[in-house]
Each structure stands twice: as structure tokens, then as C-alpha cells.
Amino acid sequence: MKCLSSTYMIRTLAMSVATHIKCRGGTYPRSSIQRLSVPDHKISWTVEYPEYNPPYYTAASIQGQPWADLEIGDPNFKPKWNSQDGTVNRESYMGPYKVVNDVPLNPVGRTGVQGRGVLGRWGPNHAADPIVTRWKRNETGDIQYDENNKPILQFVTIKRRDTDEWALPGGMVDPGEKVAATAVREFREEATSSLTMSENEKKAWQEKFQKFFERGDEVYRGYVDDPRNTDNAWMETVAYNFHDENDSVVGTLKLHAGDDAVGVQWLDITPNLNLYASHKDIVKEVVKRKIL
């Protein structure tokens, strides 16, 4: 795939980093591990908390996986923290993170669990998210407005299998892969794989698709308040908005919840949206740029 990044309009991030809400308290995902409860004022590592001794958890399912790091201390594991380490990017968008006793520290603060949990990498785990938008229209093609007379934006969302929550169709950046390419690949895999098309339709669609996804607008780059985060491993993402102003490419895709196995739909962006991790904040940023 051709390098997309040069064609991207990079905008500075105005969104503030969400503090730990989804990655604090309760049970760690896909486990019975109880996070140590960390009060708001003790999230920051700069606040002393000498008795802090959270459970250590690294899921057995990630150990030995080709996409996962080895244990710290393993003679075959020599990570280059805070740098591009071969094909693995161990740099954080949040700036240099601290490494204490060879273990990276979550740049936002304490989460109540140590280890890697279900995340493959120590330190930052990089993802990419596409926010594919269109205007909501009625049957005759007119744009729909809300009670404040603002046009209604819709975006493509998928239902995550792990938490059953609606989310952006994003995914993990493969080693060596360009982040923008990940966002496009994930959209294809998660949101369009179930569409039934003839071979000819597919060909025409591929060409239009390629063009459409060359023009993305970066709306977020940074830490994500993901329920899988730990004190030593966390999610970061870059999110790109791909907007179909006239429904000329993806806007015409007929996606309806329940149409297929993954659960994918065009969803109205409303103030009471409830989405996975920090996805609501990312979507809100798109609305701010497009409407407010």
C-alpha cells in the first residue's frame, strides 16, 4: 500500500487525556483479578503511596505469542524503551515514559494492577482508529437536523466481541506497518468484510475506496483510557476521520446492526453515546471540527 501519511492533514490534538476511569477499579477484563482501588488523588506517580502493592497479572494466553513481548528479565528480551525498537515502536505519543527497575510506567499513573494483563507489549501498545462519517439524510437525500438546528453526523461503529460495547472499527498496528494504513485495513476487515458484492462491484468499490481513504484528517494521537491498561502496559491510538460529504463512496454502504455477525452500523452521533474506552471523546472531537 502506498504511504498515506504525507497526504494527511495533520492537526494538533486539542483533546485532553482522559484520566483513568475505564482502567481503574473492578475486575480486570477476561480474568478474575481484582484491581486495587486507587483513589483519584493517588493516580499520579508523583503522589506518594508507599503501601501501593497491586496484584501482578499477565494473562497466560499472551505468553509465547509471536506478537507479544517476552517477560522482563528473560535473557532473549532486550527492549529499547522509548525508541523505535526494530519494527516495534516503543515510543509513546505522550513523550518519554519512566522505566523503573527495567519496567515501563504508565504515563498517566496508577491503574491498580501490575504486569501486562492481556496486552502484548510492555509500555505502549499502538492502535489506529478510523472514524468514517457521513451526514444523516432522509429518504429523499436531504440532510437531517437536530432540535438545535445542527446537521446530524453519523459514523460507522462495530460491536466488540470482548465487551459487547459499540466501538470504532480500529485495531493494533502490526510491526513495521504505517499507522494510517492500519486504520484503513481495520475498517476493511471489521466493517466491510461481510458485505455481499459481485466481483465487478467489488472491483469498482476497491478503486473508489482507495481514493477515499487517501484523505484522512488526524483528530487524535495519544493515550487511551482502555480497560486493559495496567501500570506497565497501556493503549495508545491515532484516530483519522474520513468524511463522505456527498455519500459518494462509503456513505452509500448499507450497514445495519444485526445484518451480519460482527454487528456494524451507521450510528447517529448524539450527546449520550456510550462507546468503548475513550472512543466517545475521539468522536466528540470530530463533531467539534465538523459542526460546532
Binding site for ligand BGC (CB under 6 A): 127, 129, 167-168, 170-172, 224, 226, 235, 237, 277
Point out which residues pair with 84 in neighbouring strands: 89
- Rounded CA separation 283/269 (Å): 8
Shortest distance in whole angstroms from residue 17 CB to ligand BGC: 13
Length of the chain: 292
Shortest distance in whole angstroms from residue 136 CB to ligand BGC: 23
Q: Which is nearer to ligand BGC, 129 or 218 (CB)?
A: 129
Q: Which is nearer to ligand BGC, 135 or 269 (CB)?
A: 269
Q: Which is nearer to ligand BGC, 35 or 135 (CB)?
A: 35
Q: How far apart, in Å, are the Cα atoms of 173 and each of 48, 187, 232?
A: 35, 13, 19
| Residue with the CB atom nearest ligand BGC in the bound state | 170
Shortest distance in whole angstroms from residue 162 CB to ligand BGC: 9
Q: Which is nearer to ligand BGC, 108 or 277 (CB)?
A: 277
**Cell of residue 228, nine digits:** 486493559
Q: Which is nearer to ligand BGC, 250 or 277 (CB)?
A: 277
Q: How far apart, in Å, are the Cα atoms of 210 and each of 14, 117, 245, 263, 280?
A: 29, 36, 16, 24, 27
Shortest distance in whole angstroms from residue 217 CB to ligand BGC: 17
Shortest distance in whole angstroms from residue 22 CB to ligand BGC: 9
